[in-house]
Amino acid sequence: YGERFYPTISGVARSVNFYPIEPEKPEEGIVNMAFGLGKYVVEGEPNLRFSPKYPKKILQLSNPAMTLRETQKSFYALNLNCVPGERLSTDDTFNFLKLSVKDAESDSSLKHAASTYDFENNIIRDGINYPGKKLITFANVLKYNTFPIAEIISDLLQIGQHEMNNPVEIEFAVNLDTAPHEPRIFHVLQIRPIVDNREKIEEDLSLVNEKDTIIYSQAALGNGIIDDINEMIFVKPENWDPSKTREIAEDIARLNDQFVKSGKTYILQGPGRWGSSDPWLGIPVKWSQISNARVIIESGLENYRVDPSQGTHFFQNLTSFRIGYFTVNPFMNDGHVDFEHLNNQHVLFENQYLKHISFKDKIEIKIDGQQKIGLVMKVPKPINPDDSPSDTHDTW
């Protein structure tokens, strides 16, 4: 396109999905894709996320407000006129251009990728032949199946996993903007087994005794073992007051700021839905107010039960940063939180509604995303002689 080059679609697909939302299943895989070069996806910028089995069911496109907030705002292209050795001001690399979606409106590629926001009627119109802001939705491809990208990816993931005998990840690029009567092309750039040790769970978590856990969830998102946390913020169930959720959110934000400054992470637990727009259904925090939480837990109380959100308010952040997200409903015999154990830990901060505690040692958190089981263990992680001593804590 003139002095720049980019594919219509780039992305990454995995044969296992550790953050499925019903009716998705972990074994059906997951796709993250974007307009332009795949650098945008690899660097974790907001991109379109969907199950190849349900390409029309995309959380980010569920309403106009979320579509405006959660979809792609910029894209990467190669600068074809880059002088060797010249560093561009638009990016920290030599020949990448980071452009706004608006910069592509004169390119013929956008018709394959964008929809239009109709401000007057507050709706998203498929296609670009309307006045209004252009949004990257890939509606032509995913909604109307003008190119069978979901089927191609699903087949590739299935074949790759079978041949490698291991979950796989593929990187791909798609050229839809071809000359008339020329085929559109799906390029497989890489395929590799997923061997990240952080994502391997060797034991069957369903066999773990609940009595050995502080928190036990049978509706967990994420995967792997987290063993570098020894602090937790939780809402005191005996003082829970849904009318005070805005105050609680402000208190949590102040505690989170301290974690941001120290670079530490923590476990966060509370009743109802985190990030709810309705403060009566949960604590209406914004992501910036809980950004250093590594594991987030929604729990029901005896007289306060709401449907779990499964982290939908923060889904882009959860998947990008691999945050564990647990739902626990102990009064429905669905997991538990051992508050007696929590109340026996060292208190760093406490007010009427919140308690911030530290454990004597770093604890072990285990998440099996395929079984949807999440555990916070009581027994500290095994001590490695090479580990440095536990951090000391000062009361804030």
Nearest to 4 by CA among 88, 130, 65, 118: 88
Mean pLDDT by 10 residues, the chain (396 residues): 94 94 91 95 89 94 91 94 59 78 93 94 94 95 94 97 93 93 94 73 87 94 92 95 94 97 96 88 93 94 70 79 90 85 96 96 92 88 48 33
C-alpha distance from residue 51 to each of 36, 207, 214 (Å): 20, 29, 32
pLDDT of 259-305, one tens digit each?
Answer: 999 999 999 999 988 998 888 888 999 999 999 999 999 998 777 66
Neighbours of 1 (CB within 10 A): 15
**Measured between alpha carbons, how far is 331 from 48 in angstroms, rounded to an integer?**
36
**Measured between alpha carbons, how far is 289 from 257 in angstroms, rounded to an integer?**
8
pTM across the whole model: 0.79
Q: Which tokens hold the place of 237?
A: 């169930």
pLDDT at residue 329 in the model: 87
Q: Which residues are registered as beta bridge partners of 136?
A: 114
pLDDT of 103-132, one tens digit each?
Answer: 999 999 999 999 999 999 999 999 999 999
**Measured between alpha carbons, how far is 321 from 286 in angstroms, rounded to an integer?**
16
E strand intervals along 300-388:
324-328, 336-337, 346-350, 354-368, 373-377
φ and ψ at 359, to 5 degrees?
-90, 155
